[in-house]
Copies of this chain bind each other. A is one copy, B any other.
Amino acid sequence: MIRPKVTLEDVARLAGVSTVTVSKVLNNQGRISQATQQRVRQAAERLGYVANAAARSLRGKPSRMLGMVVPEMASPYFAELARAAADVAGRLGYDLGLFTTSRSPDRERERVGSLLGGLVDGLILVGPSGSRQFLRALEQVPAPVVLINYFGPPTHLPVIRAENYQTTTALLHHLLALGHRRIAHISGAPHSGQGAERLRAYREVMQAVGLWQEDLVRPGGFTQEGGMQATRQLLALAQAPTAIFAGNDLSALGVYEAARERGLKIPHQLSVVGFDDIPIADHLSPPLTTVAQPVQAMAQLAVELLLRGLEGERLSEFVQEFPSRLVLRSSTGPPSG
């Protein structure tokens, strides 16, 4: 059953023309007589011909596919980013492929390089763990590359990011105003730029008000499981926190779980805040206080930037920071003690 593959030549033979003619017809190039067009199209149809993307791209033709590389496939935050990007790309006649290359830096470099080597016309890198060297290499690449939520050392690549520091500060002041003194933080994934920003803001705010305590910070890896483990530890402390700032909503979910496990009522006995405003946040009980980012707008700009790059525009030195927005819901209240 396995017919190896149908090439231009097979179609040409069946239609009784040359490969060049077939190529032209299928690409609507040059002037070909209606009669020939008819024959060629029928032959192609009958053989189930599909152009070989590799050969095409080798020849320099754009693939009309954009790539997006994310640290994690299943995270609702990245899923939303991907969906939004896929939407705008689709409207503009492009497809979007989603990749995750968090395995090894070597693999990442190689995979990204090969993606850029003709498979995709442009690439969006989300939360790049990016060694300097890697990013410098990317700057050299002929295809457009856009960084989303990159917080590392300066780069010439265009950067789109959401504001994290100020918003985290506001979030914490909300907790402080409520009267909380022992506010814990469940920090994010080790190499996440956003996680680092949030942690930095947390440390500086807490130090500024003289409430900084080393042991109130626990790593949660941005996962529900991590959030739960961290919360268990925090609640077992002699001086347990009255509020927890989870690095993202997923880990906040873990906080909810651990709190329930311990019979603690939110927000009466424990206040919780998250980050990202994933779809579920509003449906938790109680609904979670968190921070929303204009994910749609970010994704849209990223795609637009890519397309502009494709048209030859130089994108370097572009940085756009989007404001984030506090979403106050019912998971925070004054401390009970």
Interface residues of A (CB under 8 A from B): 1-5, 48, 50-58, 63, 65, 72-74, 76, 79-80, 82-83, 86, 90, 95-101, 103, 107, 109-111, 113-119, 137, 139-142, 156, 224, 253, 256, 279-280, 283-285, 316
Contact = CB atoms under 8 A, between A and B. Distances in A.
29 contacts: A1-B140, A2-B140, A2-B141, A3-B140, A50-B109, A50-B110, A50-B113, A50-B116, A50-B117, A54-B54, A73-B82, A73-B83, A73-B96, A74-B79, A74-B82, A74-B83, A76-B76, A82-B98, A90-B103, A95-B100, A95-B107, A95-B111, A96-B99, A96-B100, A97-B99, A98-B99, A253-B283, A279-B280, A285-B285
Nearest to A99: B97
Number of copies: 2
B1 A139 contact: yes
A53 B114 contact: yes
Contact of A119 (B2, B53, B156, B253): B53
A63 B110 CA distance: 11
A3 B142 CA distance: 7
B284 A117 contact: no
Contacts of A55: 54, 58
Nearest to A136: B48
A146 B130 CA distance: 34
Contact of A48 (B115, B140, B280, B283): B140
A54 B137 CA distance: 19
Contact of A54 (B48, B95, B96, B117): B117
A95 B110 CA distance: 11
B95 A99 contact: yes
Contacts of A279: 224, 280
Given A82-B74, A99-B95, A256-B283, A117 B156 contact: no
A56 B115 CA distance: 12
A101 B109 contact: no
A201 B76 CA distance: 31
A142 B4 contact: yes
Given A73-B86, A100-B86, A51 B117 contact: yes
B100 A53 contact: no
Contacts of A86: 73, 100
Nearest to A83: B74
A123 B95 CA distance: 17
A138 to B, nearest CB: 9
A101 B113 CA distance: 24
Contacts of A140: 1-3, 48
A247 to B, nearest CB: 17
A79 B278 CA distance: 14
